[in-house]
Each structure stands twice: as C-alpha cells, then as structure tokens.
Amino acid sequence: MALSKRDQAHIERRLVATLTDACETAKAEIVGFCWLTHEVDYARFPSSLRVIWVFDTEAEKDHALASGQGERMVELTAFALTEADVPVSPASAHVQFDSEEQCQRVNGGNWVQRLASKRSTRA
C-alpha cells in the first residue's frame, strides 16, 4: 500500500530527528566523522532507505572502519531507525560510508551528483 504524503512527511520528520541525534553522538565519538544524510524513495519504503555517513578524508574513513567504528555507526543507525519506527533489518544493509575528499575528487564537491550516481549503481 502506498504511503500518503502526510505519512511520508511524518516519517521524514522522525528520521531527521533521530538521525540528527545519531550524527551528534558520532561527531563526539568518531575522529574524522563530519555529517550524515539519508535518502529514501517512499514508493519502495523502507527497502530503499540508505543512510550515508560522511568523513572528511578517505584516510579517516578507512581508519574508523578498520578500528571497528563502522559497527558503532551501524548501531547508531539501527537505534535511530528503531526510534523513528522504521522497520529495517539488518540496519547494516542500509548504511554506506563516504568522504568529502572522495566527493571532491570524483564529483567536484557536488554531493547531489555523487549521491545520484551512487543511487544508480545500487539499482
């Protein structure tokens, strides 16, 4: 059953609030982590949901993932999605990691273009 525009807006508000909390927690805990964003196609919700955790550099991203911080970010994502009442399992299937450095190198700093290109490679 398709979600109404009202239901979509309600879900979006919950996602923004809970993912903002996750982001602030991660910024305090994980060196090099900068920000996160999410994307969703509500026609394919919740399977289309993805949360992208962005680091400043590739080296910081690689170090964080090698030291187990990726699991912490998945844990924060899972908690945020549970709090937002978004049923996904496993949460790790909806998490991606990226960096400002890589976006600058490949997409000239254009995140809209970068996210769109990553979206098309997932389909």
Mean local confidence (pLDDT), 47-58:
97
pLDDT of residue 123: 46
Does residue 94 contact residue 51 with C-beta atoms inside 8 Å? yes
Domains of the chain with CATH codes: 5-122 (3.30.300.20)
pLDDT at 121 over 80: no
Residues 3/42, Cβ–Cβ less than 8 Å: yes
Which structure tokens are listed for 47? 């399977």
Residue-wise pLDDT tens digits, 69-113 = 999 999 999 999 999 999 898 999 999 999 999 999 999 999 999
Cross-strand bridge partners of residue 37: 52
Cα atoms in the Cβ-side hemisphere of radius 13 Å centred on 37: 12
**pLDDT tens figures, 6-35:** 999 999 999 999 999 999 999 999 999 999
What one-character-per-residue DSSP string does 56-76 give? SSHHHHHHHHHTTHHHHHHHH
**80, 25 contact by CB (below 8 A):** no
- The angle subtended at Cα 64 by Cα 49 and Cα 84, nearest 5°, is 30
pLDDT bin (cut points 50, 70, 90) of residue 119 is confident
